[in-house]
Amino acid sequence: MIQLTSFLLGVGAAVALPVLSRVVRPVLVEAAVAGMALFDETRRVIAEQIETIEDIAAEAKARRDEALVATNGHHPEADDAPAADEAPPARTRRREGSARRRTP
């Protein structure tokens, strides 16, 4: 025998499901649209920040290049070191007393 309450719950679910899907579907679609908009906005903000970082790096490289050109290709801190085209200091000769002598 079929239970009347079970039968009525089944019929009610069969009627209510299409009604609920008509109500829930637009809400789910709007939630998906909002999620996509948030994703696109996040991508835009990240792209702007990356562009800002690239601009800072390019400006720093340009300033470094200007500094190198102004110092004729040498780093300003390296002025204390002798230049490559300068001759090294002359070597001093040994004193004759400290040299090895050959014995005949």
Domain borders along the chain are 7-73
The whole-number average pLDDT for the span 65-86 is 68
* Six-digit token string for 3: 């239970």
Angle, CA of 8, 10 and 15, to the nearest 5°? 95
What does pLDDT average to over the chain?
81
Neighbouring residues of 82: CB distance < 8 A, sequence distance ≥ 6: 88
The pTM of this model reads 0.48
